[in-house]
Structure 1
Amino acid sequence: MINKWLFTRIDNSALLIFRVFFGFLIAAEAIGAIFTGWVRRTLVAPDFTFNFIGFEFLQPLPGNGMYYYFAVMGLFGLLVMVGYKYRWSMLGYTLLWAGAYFMQKSSYNNHYYLLFLLCILMTILPAAANFSLDAKLSPNQKRNWMPRWCLLIIIIQLWIVYTYASVAKWYPDWLSYDVPKNLMMARANYPIIGGILQEHWVHVCIAWFGILFDLLIIPALLWRKTRFVAFVISIFFHLFNSIVFQIGIFPYLSLAFTVFFFSREKIHHIFMKHKPFYDKNEIVIPSYKKPLLVALTIWFCLQIILPLRHWFIPGDVLWTEEGHRLSWRMMLRGRSGITNFYIVDKNDPSDRRTIVNKLKYVTQKQVNSLNTKPDFMWQFAQRLHKIYEAEGKDIAVYVKSRVSVNGKKRKVLIDPDVDLASVPWNHFKTNPWVIKYTE
């Protein structure tokens, strides 16, 4: 049975046309990041970036280096689109995107993580076996088929993402419509639709539509009887997200995924009439069966386990942020806070505390996260310690932080008596200096 499911050869039109869409979109993402000012705000303007902890070696290139970095990414995306040196082009984009992703988190977005995962998967898929420059230059490598596992891994990956995104919304602040309300309040100044977005019925629709769409869209696309209706709803949902939340390529990438759900005959008829349709459906067991099964098992176990890890860390993830990233917890909370850092010279017998001017070291964009997120605070304390250490001083760094989640009353987030410059960061368990509340 597993051989039939994974190794039956099926028509590859869906993967070929998705490669074209995917290449165009990732090129647009890279080039758009330059022209919209994202690269400047996020990677050029700051003196240093808040990287993923453990990736301190990843820092932006000096000068205009990051503009060239993203321009090369855009070129790789275009090469993926036309299918030239496909695997090398896809690998190049993947490595550069991974670098940009892990070197900063001031602009963290679950969609950036999803793109990273998709880039890895696309690197191993035979997406340039036809309808590509590679196939034109090497006709002996041209294929009209692909093993079914190439289709299944995309569908399973999407199913995991959407399901976790739905389940994460099953909590009081979302179900009481407070989170959708806060999200729409930030968009009150939008022309034409800004006022409509403040209506209570809109918040109710967003709350329940978000839960039900994420939970049901993959099964609805898989079932032939509901597929067309699901596709129409997808168009509305993703265009709404594009207009209201302005999240770049990702609504359009989500629509591009639908080519994997329609019948192979239909996709071939719409996009690939020039290519012979493959319908032999042979089962051919490849030599790489065992390593493939091992790799896919590890991959999907990680995809299932990572979003669950916060359940094994004390405290509410909405408050502590521990286990929030890589967990498909999309647009679930708003955080605001007032945070001050104090430096104490350990060689000063008066033990005098001096407040830190944060804007001397970070940009306003970075301050927004620095005021509310424990890992940013810890990293900033480490940064301050290194700066003063270079001046021959040994300092302690203390934090007074009061944070609000979803508009609730501000509470103390960090133990003010702990020197954050002297404590380690725990990746897989709680950091005891993050104060937990039981109510």
Structure 2
Amino acid sequence: RLSCVAFLGPYWYVLLLDKSSWNNHSYLYGLMGTQLALLGADRYGSMDGLFRPQKRNAHVPLWNYALLRAQIFIVYFIAGLKKLDADWVGGYSMNSLARHWLFAPFRLVLSEALTSRLVVHGGGLVLDLSAGFLLFFDASRPLGLLLTTYFHTMNSQLFSIGETPQSPPKHPQNLR
């Protein structure tokens, strides 16, 4: 808990100083850090648990995991809801993105216009609306991790928006 608090003070201070640098990952890290500081995150898989066996074997209530999963769900789902506007659904928001080299395999079978509409716009919309559900439940989490890792790895090549959570350790795969 101490490490979470040590992280949170400077993190929120710097984040609140410059609101223009916010994206959904920025506030997600701060909110998750706050939740980890307030919940029983000093038990399983923590340094405290490593050095104090009584903490390591302590029970973490299921609602703690559900709360962290819900935060991930909210971020993805709100991103999906934002994509339900006419520009995104109509395929106009990221019209030139299908020209990027990352979409070359799709352009082997689809035209550039269809790649933009189906893969970029349709795929982004479906992923954002479904990723929260896939990551929330144990049975669908492996598929959710695979899809979101692929999505965020592609985004890291397409955009310069700062850190994107593309590696599985940043996902709530162990939140059980």
Which TM bucket (shorter chain)? 0.7 to 0.9
Please list every run of 5 or more consecutive structure 1 residues that lacks an aligned counterpart in the other structure: 1-86, 265-439
Q: For the Cα contact (< 8 Å) 1:165–1:214, is it kept in 2? A: yes
User: In structure 1, how many angstroms separate the alpha carbons of the residues matched to 2:45 and 2:172?
Assistant: 19
User: In structure 2, how many angstroms separate the alpha carbons of the residues matched to 1:142 and 1:258?
Assistant: 19
Q: For the Cα contact (< 8 Å) 2:80–2:128, is it kept in 1? A: yes
Q: Aligned letter for 2:29? A: L
Q: For the Cα contact (< 8 Å) 2:42–2:55, is it kept in 1? A: no
SS in 2 for 1:178: coil
Structure-2 change in CA distance of 1:260 and 1:136 (3 Å): closer
Q: For the Cα contact (< 8 Å) 1:234–1:255, is it kept in 2? A: no
Residue 90 of structure 1 deviates from its aligned partner by 0.8
> Corresponding residue for 1:179?
93
> Corresponding residue for 1:110?
24
RMSD: 2.9
Q: Does 1:199 align with 2:85?
A: no
User: In structure 1, how many angstroms separate the alpha carbons of the residues matched to 2:146 and 2:49?
Assistant: 34
Identity of aligned residues (%): 24
Q: Give the alignment partner of residue 235 of structure 1, picking from 136, 149, 154.
A: 149
CA deviations on 1:109-161 (whole Å, 9 max, x unpaired) are: 22211112111111112223244442344444332431111111011112222
> Corresponding residue for 1:376?
none
User: In structure 2, how many angstroms separate the alpha carbons of the residues matched to 1:202 and 1:162?
Assistant: 22
Q: For the Cα contact (< 8 Å) 1:129–1:144, is it kept in 2? A: yes
Structure-2 change in CA distance of 1:180 and 1:255 (3 Å): farther
Residue-pair matches, total: 169
> Corresponding residue for 1:249?
163
Residue 173 of structure 1 deviates from its aligned partner by 1.1
Q: Does 1:97 align with 2:11?
A: yes
Residue 103 of structure 1 deviates from its aligned partner by 0.5
User: In structure 2, how many angstroms separate the alpha carbons of the residues matched to 1:231 and 1:137?
Assistant: 31
Q: Does 1:152 align with 2:45?
A: no
Q: Aligned letter for 1:149? A: W
> Corresponding residue for 1:123?
37
CA deviations on 1:137-193 (whole Å, 9 max, x unpaired) are: 4444332431111111011112222221111111111122221125x28xx7x7xx1
Q: Aligned letter for 2:112? A: E
Structure-2 change in CA distance of 1:129 and 1:120 (3 Å): same
> Which of the two has higher C-alpha Rg?
1
Q: Aligned letter for 1:96? A: P
Residue 214 of structure 1 deviates from its aligned partner by 1.3
Q: Aligned letter for 1:103? A: L
User: In structure 1, how many angstroms separate the alpha carbons of the residues matched to 2:103 and 2:128?
Assistant: 26
> Corresponding residue for 2:78?
164
Calculate the TM-score normalised by the size of structure 1.
0.34
Structure-2 change in CA distance of 1:230 and 1:129 (3 Å): closer
